[in-house]
Structure 1
Amino acid sequence: MTIQPAKLSDPAVRAFVSAVNAHDRDAFLEVLAPGATMADDGSDRDLAEWIDREIFSSHGHMEVDRESQGGRALVARYSNDAWGEMRTRWSFTVGDDGRIARFETGQA
């Protein structure tokens, strides 16, 4: 059963998923802390390059199936024009300022 983005527990993660699904780069960048980092399948990636390729230029979309760790870990069906749909896991580190300092994703 899909969890609607508005119902996600963690406010930063809720904003992240909503921005991805709305293809709103400004809102997405707003939820990231300065100097935020990310990894894909266990390897650190260049954040700006990755989000452009995997989310914004390829129409990324997240359908969240499950959340855990207070909403900071997700299992989602992620789709984009490059890869189609795949089952993915996401984990988020949220700083004291309420912004995402790091996120990690990969196949679930």
Structure 2
Amino acid sequence: MINVSQLTDPAVRAFVTAVNDNDKGAFEEVLAPGATMSDDGSDRDITDWADREIFSSNGHMDVDSEADDGRSLIVEYRNDTWGAMRTKWRFDVTADGRISRFETGQA
């Protein structure tokens, strides 16, 4: 497992920290205006998805590995709704260091 503080990309590190701290404000701050996301290949509304899959269900990311300069992760993700599952995450980061899109799904 990789310690969150050792994740390579600062925006991805802030994203994972916000999820693990259940910090909705920090999560929203790391997202670029108009950010998009998909879950298992289907685009979702970020606000609705994050409320359901992260904040109301105590989502938590344990990072197993990273690639692509820290913008692709393999994660043991768990929440109170689904339990634990191995997932993959890919992030697009803007020049000013905010996440413009992320994609997640089962690994």
TM-score w.r.t. length of structure 2: 0.99
User: How far is 1:97 from its partner?
Assistant: 1.3
The 5 Å alignment of 1:1-108 reads: 2-108=1-107
- Partner SS for 2:17: helix
User: How far is 1:86 from its partner?
Assistant: 0.1
Amino acid at match of 1:31: V
Alpha-carbon distance in structure 2 between the residues aligned to 1:5 and 1:47: 22
Q: Deviations over 1:37-69 (max 9, x none)?
A: 000000000110000000000000000000000
Q: Deviations over 1:13-34 (max 9, x none)?
A: 0000000000000001000000
Amino acid at match of 2:89: W
Give 4+ residue runs of structure 1 displaced > 4 Å after superposition: none
Alpha-carbon distance in structure 1 between the residues aligned to 2:70 and 2:55: 23
Gaps of at least 5 residues in structure 2 are none
Alpha-carbon distance in structure 2 between the residues aligned to 1:103 and 1:56: 17
Could you tell me the percent identity over the aligned residues?
A: 66
Alpha-carbon distance in structure 1 between the residues aligned to 2:44 and 2:10: 24
Gaps of at least 5 residues in structure 1 are none
Amino acid at match of 1:59: N
User: How far is 1:81 from its partner?
Assistant: 0.2
User: What is the aligned-residue RMSD (CA, Å)?
Assistant: 0.3
User: How far is 1:8 from its partner?
Assistant: 0.1
